[in-house]
Amino acid sequence: MDTTRRGFLGAIGQVTIGAAASVAGAGQSASAEGTDVPHWGMVVDLRKCIGCQACTVACIMENAVPEDAFRTHVSVYELVKEGQDPAMVMLPRLCNHCDDPPCLPVCPVEATFKAENGEVLVDASKCVGCAYCVQACPYDARFINHETQVADKCTFCFHRTQAGLLPACVETCVGGARNFGDLNDPESEVSKMLRDNEVSVLRPEMHTNPNVYYIGLDDVLDGRVAGEAAYHPEMADAVQHHGEGL
Amino acid sequence: METQVHELVGAVHDAAWQPWAVQYFFLVAISVTSLLMALPAFVFGKSADLRAARLALMVAVTTGITAPIALLADLHQPFRFWEFFVYTHKSSWMAWGAWIVPSYVALMLLFAWAIHRPEFDRMGQDDWRFAWLFRLFSLGGASNGFARPLGMLAGLAALGILVYTGSEVMVVRARPLWNTPFLPLQFAATGVVGALGVMLILERMLCRDGALEATLNRRLALALALVAALGGAWFAVAISGVSPVHSEALASVAGFPVWQQIALWGAASVAIPFVLALTLPRNTGLITGLIAIHAAWMFRWTVFMGGQAVPKVGSGLYDALMPTGVAGLMGVIGTFGLWVFLMIVYTTFVPWSGDAADATPSARTSDQAPRKSASPQEI
């Protein structure tokens, strides 16, 4: 199936933004026909992201994400490089659906699992809410859903891809920055983008083999971002600039 | 080329392990280190140490019961705890912990019961109002020869707790402050400090024996020296770059004034009781004990709550002081309240201050009733 946004435009009329699944990927694993099992991945072209947060809102609406959490959001930074004008830089963040996910081996009850198409999912009926996976995720992509009291995260909209639809964030992306598809298919749009562009991943030093790639990612943003924070808790009020160093 | 970064829009993440987790790690470390300190006297017959061992066993039992309750409270789905035993995931230290914790608690309680069985039996034979209760406690006999193997097994389980709690946190690569090989050793050493702190407080409140206080204070000084040595080594390998994970851990917090204040506070919490315990081992037990408890608790609070306040990808810090507000504070107070309640129960119903010779399993290997060492009214 064609899993690029453009290919899906024709099917938009069929899209149902229905009641969202309240569990994080509970259900059966992906079924693949034949031997060509898709391996889902996302390529985010940061040159096209305008930071509109439409993806953030679409995800919340699609997946009934509670008020105090995000399965995906767009971090916005102002970068000031020596001798250059300040630049606004967007960085959509989500679960990286790693091929070596650190959240998986720590789960004490095997509630977190890797689905057939590469999605890292949580069986919400099994999760005990110990939050060990939340600690282990190097991308801060997991959280405890305070309505369901279990671990929650992006599922690559498993329920939608199973129905032949794109993830809600990809579907709604205004600038076409988010691209989703089969990394196993050399003819898919995402595979072509990976071939034709220089891409980066977040936190490469963690060796998690993520399946979310970025085009145009500045090196200063690929790990823990050392800079002035948007949020100033009471205890850290004295900090004007965090150099992250000795 | 230097780049200045200003985060304009970012997400703040709540602490997923809440104050109950801190309480668990604090109490369980105190329990297992207390138990290990009780074993030389009760299992290996080092009778000169019996008075300290009795205090240690009291601490082990009361904190050992409180700790798993605090752990359960931190679980977001506490009624699914049984899944730990049905779906054990062997690659998870937490899954192993789910088996080790109940094993430890059961063995530790059985050991404590075995140690006190002769006294239970004796009190059950006296003519007084609650004799029937103690006959029930003794299960109709005074024999406790099995206390020694039980103690050894409980000691092994205690070591298992130290290994699993340290490893469980240490393996989390996503949190640099946790991902340091020194951490399990620091948990164990600060656990000893906390245990000796509680024993000193109890000694002052229940025994008031200057010699015992001095002994405990000297041990506390030794434990604090070990904590300081581990802290110094941690800092040395971090700042020298010998160990990249330690350097990363230090770098993740070094730029923040609040963390510099925490480091100074922590150093003072170790140095002050160390000097007091070493120079004035008598009549300082209350203050050294309280500061020692504070040091052990603060270490865990800093590691867990402070560690979770360090963003993995974002900038700055999240709420580090009391991220869960009044509910979190109530969790801390509640678990301490439970421990105080158990202390009252223990000192009321367990003949913890019985004659030294009577407590050793070697003294009671038959069902013969022991000689009278304390009247029930003295309990």
B244-254 helix and B210-240 helix, angle to the nearest 10 degrees: 100
pLDDT at A3 over 70: no
Tell me which of A152 and A31 has the higher pLDDT.
Answer: A152
Q: For residue A226, give the chain B residue with the closest CA.
A: B315
A87 and B CB contact within 8 Å:
no
Instruction: Please give the pLDDT value at position B357.
Output: 42
Instruction: Please give the pLDDT value at position A188.
Output: 96
Instruction: Please give the pLDDT value at position B315.
Output: 86
Across the interface, do A138 and B173 touch by the CB < 8 Å criterion? Answer: yes
Q: What is the pLDDT of residues B194-226, one digit of tens each?
A: 999 999 999 999 999 999 999 999 999 999 999
Of A77, A127, A220, the CB nearest to B8: A77
Among A89, A134, A135, which would you mutate to test the B interface (most chain B Cβ atoms within 10 Å of its Cβ)? A135
Q: What is the pLDDT of residues B65-93, one digit of tens each?
A: 999 999 998 899 999 999 999 999 999 99
pLDDT at A187 over 70: yes
Contacts 24+ apart (CB under 8 A), A60-64: A61/A17, A61/A20, A61/A168, A62/A17, A62/A20, A62/A157, A62/A160, A62/A168, A63/A20, A63/A21, A63/A155, A63/A157, A63/A168, A64/A19, A64/A20, A64/A21, A64/A22
Which residue reads 């000084």 in tokens? B221
The ranges assigned to domains in chain A are: 5-9+38-219
pLDDT at B2 over 50: yes
Instruction: Please give the pLDDT value at position B62.
Output: 98
Q: What is the pLDDT of residues A99-125, one digit of tens each?
A: 999 999 999 999 999 999 999 999 999
Of B11, B95, B311, the CB nearest to A73: B11
Across the interface, do A132 and B173 touch by the CB < 8 Å criterion? Answer: no
Q: What is the mean pLDDT of residues A186-213?
A: 97
- Looking at the complex, report in whole angstroms how far the Cα of residue B20 sits from the nearest Cα belonging to chain A: 12
Q: What is the mean pLDDT of residues B263-269?
A: 97
- What integer best gives the mean pLDDT of chain B? 91
- What ipTM did this prediction achieve? 0.91
Across the interface, do B77 and A246 touch by the CB < 8 Å criterion? Answer: no
Chains A, B: CB contacts under 8 A, how many? 228
Using the CB atoms, write b or e for A194-219: b if 16+ within 10 Å: beeeebebbbeebebebbbbbbbbbe
| Separation between Cα atoms, residue B332 and residue B59, nearest integer Å | 18
Instruction: Please give the pLDDT value at position A100.
Output: 98
DSSP state of A227: S
Tokens of A80: 């000031």
Task: Give the length of chain B.
Answer: 379
Binned at pLDDT 50, 70 and 90, residue B355 comes out as: low
Tell me which of B315 and B290 has the higher pLDDT.
Answer: B290
Q: Hey, which residues does B6 pair with through a beta bridge?
A: A78, A228
A229 and B CB contact within 8 Å:
yes
Which residue reads 């200057």 in tokens? B210
Of B83, B257, B308, the CB nearest to A238: B257
Binned at pLDDT 50, 70 and 90, residue B190 comes out as: very high
Instruction: Please give the pLDDT value at position A236.
Output: 53
Instruction: Please give the pLDDT value at position A233.
Output: 72
Contact partners, residue A189, CB within 8 Å, separation at least 6: A3, A4, A6, A7, A179, A181
Q: What is the mean pLDDT of residues B286-291?
A: 98
A68 and B CB contact within 8 Å:
yes
CB proximity under 8 Å: A 121-150 to B: 126-132, 134-140, 143-144, 149-150
CA atoms within 13 A on the CB side of A184: 11
Across the interface, do B5 and A79 touch by the CB < 8 Å criterion? Answer: yes
Instruction: Please give the pLDDT value at position A235.
Output: 58
pLDDT at B180 over 90: yes
Q: What is the pLDDT of residues A26-54, one digit of tens each?
A: 333 333 444 479 999 999 999 999 999 99
Q: What is the mean pLDDT of residues A142-168?
A: 97
Q: What is the pLDDT of residues B219-253, one digit of tens each?
A: 999 999 999 999 999 999 999 999 999 999 999 99
Contact partners, residue B316, CB within 8 Å, separation at least 6: A228, A229, A230, A231, A232, A236, A239, A242, B7
Across the interface, do A233 and B309 touch by the CB < 8 Å criterion? Answer: yes
Instruction: Please give the pLDDT value at position B320.
Output: 57
Instruction: Please give the pLDDT value at position A234.
Output: 64
Among B315, B317, B318, B321, which would you mutate to test the A interface (most chain A Cβ atoms within 10 Å of its Cβ)? B315
What H or E segment, with its residue span, contains residue A152?
strand A150-152
A230 and B CB contact within 8 Å:
yes
A235 and B CB contact within 8 Å:
yes
Q: What is the pLDDT of residues B23-66, one digit of tens each?
A: 999 999 999 999 999 999 999 988 888 999 999 999 999 999 99
Tokens of B48: 């000169």
Binned at pLDDT 50, 70 and 90, residue B270 comes out as: very high
A70 and B CB contact within 8 Å:
yes
Q: How many CB atoms lie within 10 A of CB B264?
A: 10
- Per CB-CB distance under 8 Å, the chain A contacts of B1 are 81-82
Give me the percent of chain A exceeding a pLDDT of 90.
74
Of A202, A228, A234, the CB nearest to B313: A202
Give me the percent of chain B exceeding a pLDDT of 90.
80
- What integer best gives the mean pLDDT of chain A? 85
Instruction: Please give the pLDDT value at position B324.
Output: 66
Using only C-alpha atoms, chain A has a radius of gyration, in whole angstroms, of 18
Contact partners, residue A45, CB within 8 Å, separation at least 6: A176, A177, A179, A193, A197, A215, A216
Distances (CA, A) of B162 to B30, B35, B58: 10, 12, 19
Across the interface, do A143 and B257 touch by the CB < 8 Å criterion? Answer: no
In this structure, which amino acid lies at residue B244? Answer: P
CATH number of A5-9+38-219: 3.30.70.20
pLDDT at B151 over 50: yes
pLDDT at A153 over 60: yes
